[in-house]
Amino acid sequence: MIPTAAAAQPLLSLSYFPVMLLSGVLGTVGGTPGWLTGLMGWLPGRPTIDAVTHALAATGAVPSVPVHDLAVLAAWAAGGLLAALRLFRWVPRAA
């Protein structure tokens, strides 16, 4: 879907930066609709932030990470693995 390696960075940034900003990497965004907040909980940005926050704030010996965050991140990892196995090619295709 991305034609060249040189085009990968700009094209992926178009989706990466909005997801990270809306997920709260730089703080909360005021005035976001409820459906967008719910959607951000299912994309990998918000669960990663929540998991790291819970792990760093843990006072016990074992950090507690919410199950929802782990499940969302595991689903994205499994989906990424399946996509890579299906779509990745070691030998470039002819143009």
Q: What is the per-residue pLDDT across 11-40, written as a single tens digit (0 to 9) for each?
A: 888 888 888 888 888 777 778 888 888 888
Averaged over 28-56, what is the pLDDT?
86
Q: Are 21 and 29 in contact (CB under 8 A)?
A: yes
d(CA 54, CA 32): 23
Task: Give residue 80's pLDDT.
Answer: 94
Q: Cβ neighbours of residue 75 under 8 Å, at least 6 residues apart?
A: none
Provide the mean pLDDT of the chain. Answer: 85
- Region of residue 31 (left: phi > 0; alpha: psi -120 to 50; beta: else): left
> Whole-prediction pTM value?
0.73
pLDDT at 74 exceeding the cut of 90 = yes
Q: Model confidence at 53, in pLDDT bands (50, 70, 90)?
A: confident
Averaged over 76-85, what is the pLDDT?
95
